[in-house]
Amino acid sequence: MSAPLAHSTPMASVLRQFYALTKPRVVQLIVFCALIGMVLAVPGVPSMDDVWRAFIACFGIWLVAGAAAAFNCLVEKGIDAKMKRTAWRPTARGELSDRQTLLFSAGLCLAGSAILWFAVNPLTMWLTFATFVGYAVIYTVVLKPLTPQNIVIGGASGAMPPVLGWAAMTGEVGPEALILFLIIFLWTPPHFWALALYRVEDYRKAGLPMLPVTHGNEFTRLQILLYTLILFAACLMPFIYGMSGWLYLAVAFAVSIGFCGYGVALWRRYSDALARKTFRFSLIHLSVLFAALLIDHYLR
């Protein structure tokens, strides 16, 4: 009974390595944000056709997002090998070849794009493919190694999921989708800079011009604080525009106050532990904010 299991273990290991290339936790957040855009784009309770379209669109977006993550791992394998946070990745450890990774990324991208084109609509496919190019090529290859504003400019790609979701259900990009885009766009810098603060030596060793490396700890902390304040205002826009109600406003106010509180505390006195807490809270902030939008949508 043990022989078949022994033969299956290497294949299972390889599959786990390919799966790791897709950065599952990051892609799950991307699909979640896209799903929020889909739900908000459909008034009232969705029909079964809407549910099926949303499911297919989420699957297509997941494939293309996974392809972008895999391509990122390929391009940054040398950098990843120097950083404790990413040294475990299969490409950094040499467990998967460049050819394997490139073919895997291309296959996912082609499959996801075909699904979006034929089963959803061409606009969603083109927007999703543009997001792939923006993250995998413009951000990873051009911006990240060249400018400390890489996160700010490259954040546009990371802010696209709600727009993709909205386009999937409506065939257009409405102002509501752009508000959601703005929220994620402004959330991205304080989220990643908090991480960069306590991982600064990793980024310095890898030669990446992240803001704490180029401008120092104090300047980065000030930028985090300023962005949390601007983000606070952006998080109120769904209520002001009329796409959400009082429940969302209360939740948005509470979590945004919390994020600003971390920004103030980090600005006043730095510690790695506080930077880690700020990074973790930023994930809670976005997840709770979008969950509140979803609940509010069905309670109104």
- Interval 184-213: pLDDT, tens: 999 999 999 999 999 999 889 888 899 999
User: What type of residue sits at position 174?
Assistant: G
The helix or strand, by DSSP H or E, that contains position 99, with its residue range, turns out to be helix 98-115
pLDDT digits (tens, 9 = 90+) for 31-65: 989 999 999 999 988 999 999 999 999 999 999 99
Residue 34: inside a domain, yes or no?
yes
What is the DSSP code (8-state) at residue 210? -
Residue 16's Cβ-count burial label (10 Å; 0-12, 13-18, 19+) is exposed
Tokens of 11: 């294949």
Q: Name the residue range of residue 130's domain.
A: 11-172
Half-sphere exposure of 228 (CA within 13 A, CB side): 31
Residue 153: inside a domain, yes or no?
yes
87 and 26 share one domain: yes
Tokens of 40: 């908000």
Residue 61: inside a domain, yes or no?
yes
The predicted structure's pLDDT at residue 136: 86
129 and 168 share one domain: yes
User: What type of residue sits at position 22?
Assistant: T
147 and 34 share one domain: yes
Tokens of 70: 């895999």
Residue where a domain terminates, one of 156, 172, 188:
172
pLDDT digits (tens, 9 = 90+) for 133-180: 999 888 888 888 888 888 888 888 889 999 999 999 999 999 999 999
Q: How many domains does the chain have?
A: 2
Q: Which of 40-49, 70-79, 273-282 tops mean pLDDT?
A: 273-282
Cβ atoms of residues 67 and 105 within 8 Å? yes
44 and 147 share one domain: yes
Q: In 3D, which of 278, 135, 144, 180 has the Cα closest to residue 220? A: 278
The predicted structure's pLDDT at residue 100: 92
pLDDT at 4 over 50: no
Q: In 3D, which of 35, 107, 96 has the Cα closest to residue 66? A: 107
146 and 260 share one domain: no
64 and 184 share one domain: no
140 and 103 share one domain: yes
Residue 243 main-chain phi, psi, to 5 deg: -95, 0
Cα 124 to Cα 119: distance, rounded to the nearest angstrom? 10
pLDDT mean over 214-240 = 97
Residue where a domain terminates, one of 172, 201, 236:
172
Residue 282: inside a domain, yes or no?
yes
295 and 160 share one domain: no
> With a threshold of 0.75, does the pTM exceed it?
yes
207 in the Ramachandran plot: left (φ > 0), alpha (ψ -120 to 50) or beta? left
Residue 1: inside a domain, yes or no?
no
Residue 276: inside a domain, yes or no?
yes
pLDDT at 127 over 60: yes
130 and 219 share one domain: no
Domain CATH for 103: 1.10.357.140
User: What type of residue sits at position 28?
Assistant: Q
pLDDT digits (tens, 9 = 90+) for 235-248: 999 999 999 999 99
The predicted structure's pLDDT at residue 197: 96
102 and 225 share one domain: no
Chain centroid, CA 206 distance in Å: 22
pLDDT at 85 over 60: yes
Q: What percent of the chain has pLDDT over 90?
A: 70
Cβ atoms of residues 189 and 228 within 8 Å? no
The predicted structure's pLDDT at residue 7: 42
Within 8 A by CB and 6+ apart from 185, the residues are 155, 156, 158, 159
Within 8 A by CB and 6+ apart from 153, the residues are 139, 143, 147
pLDDT at 8 over 70: no
Neighbouring C-beta atoms of residue 207, cutoff 10 Å? 11
Look-up of token digits 């885009």: 181
159 and 240 share one domain: no
Residue where a domain terminates, one of 130, 151, 172:
172
Residue 3: inside a domain, yes or no?
no
192 and 288 share one domain: yes
The predicted structure's pLDDT at residue 165: 97
pLDDT at 9 over 70: no
Residue 4: inside a domain, yes or no?
no
